Amino acid sequence: MQPMAASGGSFATPAPAPSPSLLRTHELSLVYPGGNTALAGLSVDVPRGAVGLVGANGAGKTTLFRLMLGLLFPTHGAIEVVGRTVASDPIGIRSQLGYMPEHDCLPTDQSAADFVSTFGELAGLPARAARQRASDVLDLVGLDEARFRPIGGFSTGMRQRTKLAQALVADPELLLLDEPTAGLDPVGREEMLALVERLAGFGISVLFATHLLDDVQRVCDHVVMIDGGRLVLAGPIDQLVERTGMVRVEVGGRADAVPALANALTQRGIRVKVLDQHVIDVETTGDGDEVYDAVRDQIADLGLRLYSLSSRHRSLDDLFLQEASRP
């Protein structure tokens, strides 16, 4: 993800690139009439693919969705979705998007086939094509046999899949999924994640809003973390996690083994965190090999005993907590 190269609330280079970004925002801010700031100067450039949008409740995830769908307009800044500036066609942009809300939104007296084909027609598909598409996507999400049953008799997992099917029925370029695993049991959650992963494999971009970082790490290539309407961190998950890997080192041989090792590593510009009198975490940000070599050399130089050395990648949770807690 690249920082935006524009200013003044508009994009410096509005001409569409051959492969436009999934989402570009520049200094995007939204302040509600009551003075509540929902988004504050958010600038990101997210490539196509499966992208996690992470933040606690009230972080601004749903507000960002509303801005993407053209249901709200920013008080400052600009937003571009699948290569189109939302402000120039706030209604037309919705033809490219499929939205799956977090909350229950299904009429209990309708069948899944009827409901999904209804939303196909509302997306502008001819009636016959909408029915065919409804059948196809319900098959895809695993509801082929239940599609003529009333939604009122569906389990939570089936309801979530029905919501996903209606988002998919018009073949959108981008799916906006708002907490798709909320309320699901472990099996249902696993099935939903597998489904989202599969969709990404079909070339459908997904923006996956959640506060469950494990879900994002499981299915997404990129992540955007926001907190209090501000960008915390954004980038490819692999790089972020690798860049912030850690080595846990357990040493002994003398009473001040850990302080001595910590001091020596810190002097070499390596960040460490002392856990107890025998264990120390060493950050491997950047080139991990050099850090491993440095740890080995310092232990040898100090004449310490090495009991164990294990590498571990930080989870997105660690990253989020670390970045969000920075002033």
Partner 1 sequence: MTIVGSTQGGAVYDRGYRPYEGRRGGRAEARWALWRLTIRRALGLRRSWRQKVMPWTLLGIVTIPAIVNVGVGYLSRDTPASDFRFITYREYVGVSAAMLLFVAVTAPDAVCPDRHDRVLPLIFSRQLTGVDYVLAKVGAIATIVFGFSVIPQLVLFVGQTLVSDNGALDYYLDNDEVLWQVPVAAALLALWYAVIAVALASLTDRRIVGGIALLGLALVTSAIAGVFIGANDGEHSIMFLVNLLALPLALRDVVFLGHLHHSSPLSGSEGAAWFAGIEYAVITVAAFALLFWRYREVDL
> Which positions lie near partner 1, rule CB under 8 A?
62, 65-66, 69, 71, 91-92, 94-95, 97, 99, 101, 103-109, 114, 118-119, 121-127, 129, 133, 136, 139-140, 166, 170-171, 178, 199, 202, 204
Instruction: Tokens 């490219």: give the residue.
Output: 96
C-beta closer to partner 1: residue 20 or 236: 20
C-beta closer to partner 1: residue 97 or 241: 97
Strand 279-283 relative to strand 246-252, pairing: antiparallel
C-beta closer to partner 1: residue 84 or 248: 84
Q: Nearest approach, Cβ of 112 to partner 1 (angstroms)?
A: 14
Q: Nearest approach, Cβ of 35 to partner 1 (angstroms)?
A: 18
Q: Which of 325, 309, 175 is nearest to 250 (CA)?
A: 309
C-beta closer to partner 1: residue 120 or 244: 120
What is the C-alpha separation between 319 and 304, in angstroms, rounded?
A: 31
User: What DSSP assignment string belongs to 248-305?
Assistant: EEEEESSTTHHHHHHHHHHHTT--EEE-SSSEEEEE--S-HHHHHHHHHHHHHHHT-E
The C-alpha torsion from 319 through 322 and 323 to 327, rounded to 10°, is 180
Q: Nearest approach, Cβ of 11 to partner 1 (angstroms)?
A: 24
Q: Nearest approach, Cβ of 39 to partner 1 (angstroms)?
A: 14
- Answer for the pair 127, 121: CB distance below 8 angstroms, yes or no: yes
C-beta closer to partner 1: residue 73 or 307: 73
Q: Nearest approach, Cβ of 103 to partner 1 (angstroms)?
A: 6
Strand order in the sheet with 174-178: 97-100, 174-178, 205-210, 50-54, 222-227, 230-236
C-beta closer to partner 1: residue 136 or 318: 136
Q: Nearest approach, Cβ of 125 to partner 1 (angstroms)?
A: 6
